[in-house]
Homo-oligomer: A and B are copies of this chain.
Amino acid sequence: MAMIKVHGHHLSTATRLVLCCLEEKQVDYELAFVDLSAGDHKQPQYLALNPFGVVPSIQDGDLTLFESRAVIKYLATKYRGQGTELLGNNVSEQALVDQWCEVEGQSFNPPASTILFQTFVVPIKGGRTDEAVVKMNVEKVVKVLDIYEERLSKSKYLAGDFFSLADLQHLPCTEYLINGCGKGDVISSRKHVKAWWKDISSRPVEESH
């Protein structure tokens, strides 16, 4: 059987999310480098994989798939029983996984990725960080993390007492927030969020990155 091919870029948070998931599921893969700085993601060859022109996309046999959160759901479903179980053990647990995945996608990521873009990407491209935008989005992230703090005072992970896709989805962007954007205090100033982050960011499979 052909190996899963991931078309992506090692610095892209969405690509990293898919790679983290493949590691957790112990699935072999091949990374096809998409040169974002050369605009490869806007070329017809890549647009045939993903009409939105963003990374990553995967190919698994006949199946071409994009949207990183859908990709990891697919991997967690297809490889149930292999590597880390990431979807919970029954319909109710999976519903809570999906709920906190949606929270990440709808409430955490939009401000977090805006901070990342403004404080990390814009300067690299020679632009100037819009500090007002950063401030507004830090306030949004903090509101979400206050809710996480309350939640994580009651359960070890977001969806319950088991590591899941919901936690995994936070890894790439939060790592940048802490190590690339100097915003680690939003994590470290919250007792339960800090302990949760320490746990999920030091998982054995992470060390291979």
Chain A residues with a Cβ under 8 A of chain B: 51-52, 62-63, 65-67, 69-71, 73-74, 77-78, 91-92, 94-96, 98-99, 101-103, 105-107, 110, 147, 150-151
- Work out how many copies of this chain go into the complex: 2
Bound state CA distance, A96 and B52, in angstroms? Answer: 15
Q: B70, B78, B103, B150: which contacts A102 (Cβ < 8 A)?
A: B70
Q: B63, B95, B150: which contacts A70 (Cβ < 8 A)?
A: B95
The answer to whether B147 touches A102 (Cβ under 8 A) is no
Bound state CA distance, A96 and B67, in angstroms? Answer: 10
Bound state CA distance, A96 and B73, in angstroms? Answer: 11
The answer to whether A92 touches B106 (Cβ under 8 A) is no
The answer to whether A73 touches B95 (Cβ under 8 A) is yes
Q: B78, B98, B101, B147: which contacts A52 (Cβ < 8 A)?
A: B147
The answer to whether B67 touches A103 (Cβ under 8 A) is yes
Query: Chain B residues near A66 (CB, 8 Å)?
Result: 99
The 7 A-B pairs at the shortest CB distance, nearest first, are namely A67-B102, A70-B98, A74-B95, A70-B99, A51-B147, A70-B102, A67-B99
Least CB distance from A103 to B in Å reads 6
Query: Chain B residues near A71 (CB, 8 Å)?
Result: 95, 99
The answer to whether B77 touches A92 (Cβ under 8 A) is no
Query: Chain B residues near A62 (CB, 8 Å)?
Result: 92
Bound state CA distance, A71 and B51, in angstroms? Answer: 28
Q: B65, B78, B91: which contacts A74 (Cβ < 8 A)?
A: B91
Query: Chain B residues near A105 (CB, 8 Å)?
Result: 102, 105-106
The answer to whether B98 touches A67 (Cβ under 8 A) is yes
The answer to whether B69 touches A102 (Cβ under 8 A) is yes
